[in-house]
């Protein structure tokens, strides 16, 4: 099974040599925010929304200190804005208070951040830190994999 997995990874790398995350970000914290906004939202919508936000607010300190209502207004186009704003603000506060303003670089600490689950932590680890500890699979990929397994 390990040889088949390695062969599959080789084929995928050859077939898609330029594959990358479709979320736009410049810093690990911007990646955290973008991933949180992408829940139940397209990456395209997130990428249209974040440039304006990140031009004025880009650090954990900025987001920890922003008024919740202001943040809700900024992220409104991404949907579920009340819950996302609450989690983004709390996440930023934890990063500032517990991690001296730096996004943690391990799965356990990332998953302890408000609004960050295993899938999000895997995306952040890979894209922001170049460390793959798992594979982030969306519902469409999971559905196709399950169909292939039954044939």
Tell me the C-alpha distance between 37 and 111, whole Å.
16
The tens digit of pLDDT for each residue in 40-52 reads 999 999 999 999 9
Sequence length of the chain is 151
3-state secondary structure of 106: coil
What's the pTM? Answer: 0.84
Query: Are the beta carbons of 29 and 50 closer than 8 angstroms?
Result: no
Domains and CATH numbers, the chain: 22-149 (1.10.340.30)
For the stretch 33-42, what's the b/e string if a residue is b when 16 or more beta carbons lie within 10 angstroms of its beta carbon?
bbbbbbbebe
Location of structure tokens 């991404």: 78
Q: Is 138 known to be catalytic? A: yes
Catalytic residue among 26, 138, 147, 151: 138
Determine how many CB atoms are found less than 10 A away from the CB of residue 134: 13
The tens digit of pLDDT for each residue in 1-23 reads 678 878 877 888 899 888 788 89
Catalytic residue among 86, 90, 105, 119: 119
Q: Is 18 known to be catalytic? A: no
């Amino acid at each position: 099974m390990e040889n088949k997995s390695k062969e599959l990874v080789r084929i995928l790398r050859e077939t898609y040599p330029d594959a990358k995350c479709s979320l736009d970000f410049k810093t690990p914290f911007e990646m955290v925010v973008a991933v949180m906004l992408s829940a139940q939202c397209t990456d395209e919508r997130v990428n249209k929304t974040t440039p304006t936000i990140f031009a004025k607010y880009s650090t954990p300190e900025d987001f920890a200190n922003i008024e919740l209502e202001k943040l809700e207004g900024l992220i409104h186009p991404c949907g579920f804005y009340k819950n996302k704003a609450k989690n983004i603000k709390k996440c930023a506060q934890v990063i500032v208070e517990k991690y001296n303003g730096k996004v943690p670089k391990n799965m356990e600490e990332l998953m302890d951040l408000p609004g960050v689950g295993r899938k999000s932590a895997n995306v952040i680890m890979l894209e922001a830190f170049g460390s793959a500890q798992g594979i982030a699979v969306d519902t469409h990929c999971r559905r196709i994999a399950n169909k292939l397994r039954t044939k």
